[in-house]
Structure 1
Amino acid sequence: MKNLDQLLQSFSGQDSELNRRDFIGTAGKGLVAATVTGGLTSGAALAQTTGSPGGGGGKSMANVITVDVPSQHATSERQQENSTKMLNPDNRIGYAIVGIGELTMGQLMPAFGSCKYAKPVALVSGDAAKAKKVAAQHGIPEKNIYNYQNFDEIKNNPDIDAVYIVLPNSMHEEFVIRSAKAGKHVLCEKPMANSSKEAQNMIDACKKAGKKLMIAYRIQYEPNNRLMMKWTREKHFGQVKVIDSVNVQNIGDPNQWRLKRALAGGGSLPDIGLYCINTNRFLTGEEPYMVSAVIHSDAADPRFKEVEDKVMWQMFFPSGTIANNTTAYSVHDSKHYRCYAANGGWFGMDPGYNYNGLKIEASQAQGKLEMKQNVIVGEKQQFALEMDHFAQCIMENKEPYTPGEEGLQDQKIMEAIYEAARSGKPVKLDKITTIDTFRNAANAPKE
């Protein structure tokens, strides 16, 4: 077999650093990956694997390809990642994407280019013409295009291991249950459903079918936010006493489904306020025992005939931490949070909830000095991280880090927030003193 330099010359005609990067970038297609690394973690490159208990269509993590390249940086410099592990595309978990809207087109389909264990194999849409165009772009055969009427036929397609539900909230329950009955594992967008009753039905259906259910809380898999979680729990600046969270934006077309109660279940709270709720819980590892809230909407604004605009609420945690939260659909975009700690310091992210461009900020007093910090962790494709996590769960027969129970808990908290706003009084929830009660902490993402 040719060595790397010979392969580079045959690829580009010259051995330049630029062409080296271009060449190595093609390794995601399985091209000479074993040559770059000097081997695999197990077995021969590109070998087919045997069946696994995870129900991943006979796919497993047995033949992971490792790609290593030397670092160009001195040890005194911030090191970039120069090693990766991946599966040959034939062995990856195949996803059927249900719903081809803004999130799918802008985030999910591009994210598959960064995936190491997942791939798109099918599309489900009510728009056949659009589905054919998207399928052609991503190498999905036309036979793997379904609509909402013939969706149940996915049970006969061995290419499909998992289904990713990216539909209006009111449709989550139906399609999660149909997916489970079709024998497929399910990754479902958040909010999980329009009610805790629907969420429980989804959990029950997947358990009855023996299929895994994961809720797509991308923040919990993202490395910057995971560092903030670590700082909170390890009391990096002391005990966090107060968390301020803001997730607001100016929503457009008043006829879109997000502004229809029957489809969305609510307005800004379940759509973007949910990030504040879930991130508060993720950072602390705790569950709130009480919430208080107020809601205000402009009755003259056609966008808010059915759903709420502005929500401000507080969450009270057993440790004494209080989280102040604000969400709205009628103001300029801002997505950030800050944790105020006991020992003269604060930290957080601005932006914190975006798909990209996340930034950590921190400050701490040192004598007469106020030390401001901008911590650089580096970005990863958030949707690729969560899809790969679920793929690994399927192949290794493990429960996901954010299972259905995590989504159900958020539904219960949102219902309490709505009740607190209606009644004008704080609403108590079950007092839970355990940490990560609804997450599978044993299968947390690797740092």
Structure 2
Amino acid sequence: MSTSRRRFLQKLALSAITLPILPSYAISQTNSRTAPHTQKPVLRVALMGLGGYAQLVANSMQSCTRAKITALISGTPSKLEEWGNKYNVPKHSRYNYENFDDIKDNPEIDAVYVITPNSLHHSQVIRVAKAGKHAICEKPMAINAKQGQEMVDACAAAGVKLLIGYRMRFEPNTLEVVRMRNDGEFGNIKFFQGLAGFRIGDPNQWRLNKELAGGGSLMDIGIYAINGARYMVGEDPVWVTAQETKTDPIKFKEGVDETIQFQLGFSNGTVASCLSTYNMGFLDRFFLNGEKGFAEMRPSIGYGPIKGRTNKGELNHPHIPHQTIQMDEMAGIILDGKKPILPVDGNVGLQDIKIIEAIYRACATGERQELHLT
């Protein structure tokens, strides 16, 4: 994770840093297959790609009741040793990118969480599926829809689940807004606004490399506004228009977008206006407007605490690290067949990639693009 992005998101999480670990989430790092207190099976997870975000996931998982780290995959031997010692992962459960297919023979692994650069997700998830393990993949799931479909198909063929790391789809204040909308408390939804952006730092990082990232801000931070529009409105868009602005072609080279404004249209008449950027700060806001009320979330996508208000007052669900909730909920999806309030399966991720591709086409042509997501 880039330094600037880390600062952007960590500023949103300052109050969470001092939050004590909740005792009810305590779990020891043992080989036990059953969670203490609940007597439900624990999801045994291999983390792939031991970078900045994986560190946040790993730390948050120490508070999970139903998920634990049992294996590591990295191309850096020193990280495997450091993380292995820190999280009590034995040497035989530490893999590199060349030999991780051997996870098929490791009964202490149920799922692999792929947290690597975007362009690597496709091949790595397919290898995970062929090894007979469930796959959790960071967003965006792939750099194009063709790859995304192949990932979905590979997991289906192998009989394993593919979940995408959409942590906001488990966040309590977000789900409260979804509940209110589902219950008709906002009336017919008319408008959504999603602002997502920060000033990116190091120009040599992989997020500014088209071969690794597949694009620019839209792939990284803009996808939150795309996905957010879908779960806040409660519908999928049927058309998109978009405009790209680039003020620094040296830093943001060909194929790496700096700033994109895009508009989404929904079959129920709702419209969405969204902004994705790597060159403006203080952009982390969702706004939903209906005939009877509204919901505003700011911050809406940072690591928390997420804050919001509606026409009926403030949203006040207590903050728990998003990755803690996400991994416990994903354990329920994988091990119990639990149906989440908001789906996070590979098809949801594939639909976001289709929208991203349409946005890029709209920028290139200046024309409205019709969407066919199913």
Per the TM superposition, whether the score is higher than 0.5 is yes
| SS in structure 2 at match of 1:319 | coil
* Structure 2 unpaired stretches of 5+: 1-19
Select which of 21, 25, 28 maps to 2:26.
28
Q: Does residue 348 of structure 2 align to residue 406 of structure 1?
A: yes
What is the CA distance between 1:238 and its match in structure 2?
A: 2.2
Q: Which has the higher contact order (CA 8 A, sep 6+)?
A: 2
Q: Does residue 52 of structure 2 align to residue 102 of structure 1?
A: yes
Q: Distance in 2 between matches of 1:230 and 1:23?
A: 28
Letter of the 2:335 partner, please give it.
M
| SS in structure 2 at match of 1:269 | helix
CA contact (8 A) 1:212 1:399 kept: no
What is the CA distance between 1:237 and its match in structure 2?
A: 2.9
Q: Which residue of the partner structure matches residue 118 of structure 2? A: 169
Q: Which residue of the partner structure matches residue 273 of structure 1? A: 222
Counterparts in 2 of 1:33-432, with a 5 A limit?
65-66=36-37, 85=38, 87=40, 91-105=41-55, 107-343=56-292, 345-363=293-311, 373-397=313-337, 401-430=343-372
CA contact (8 A) 2:288 2:294 kept: yes
Letter of the 2:42 partner, please give it.
R
What is the CA distance between 1:306 and its match in structure 2?
A: 4.1
The alignment-based identity, stated in percent, is 36
Change (3 A) 1:140 1:378: same
Letter of the 1:25 partner, please give it.
P
CA contact (8 A) 1:170 1:264 kept: yes
Q: Distance in 1 between matches of 2:205 and 2:230?
A: 30
CA contact (8 A) 2:25 2:65 kept: no
What is the CA distance between 1:381 and its match in structure 2?
A: 1.9
- Note the alpha carbon deviations across 1:21-73, whole angstroms, 9 max, x for none: x999388347xxxxxxxxxxxxxxx9x8xxxxxxxxxx5xxx6654xxxxxxx
Change (3 A) 1:304 1:283: same
Q: Provide the TM-score with structure 1 as the length reference.
A: 0.74
Change (3 A) 1:86 1:285: farther
- Note the alpha carbon deviations across 1:381-432, whole angstroms, 9 max, x for none: 2112221222222322457731111111111111111111111111111387
CA contact (8 A) 2:193 2:273 kept: yes
CA RMSD of aligned residues (A): 2.4
Letter of the 2:173 partner, please give it.
N
What is the CA distance between 1:300 and its match in structure 2?
A: 4.1
What is the CA distance between 1:86 and its match in structure 2?
A: 6.5
Q: Aligned pairs, how many?
A: 352
What is the CA distance between 1:178 and its match in structure 2?
A: 0.4
CA contact (8 A) 1:169 1:191 kept: yes
Q: Distance in 1 between matches of 2:232 and 2:24?
A: 37
Q: Provide the TM-score with structure 2 as the length reference.
A: 0.88
Change (3 A) 1:297 1:386: same
Query: Quick check: which has more Rg, 1 or 2?
Result: 1
| SS in structure 2 at match of 1:158 | coil
| SS in structure 1 at match of 2:75 | coil
Change (3 A) 1:102 1:270: same
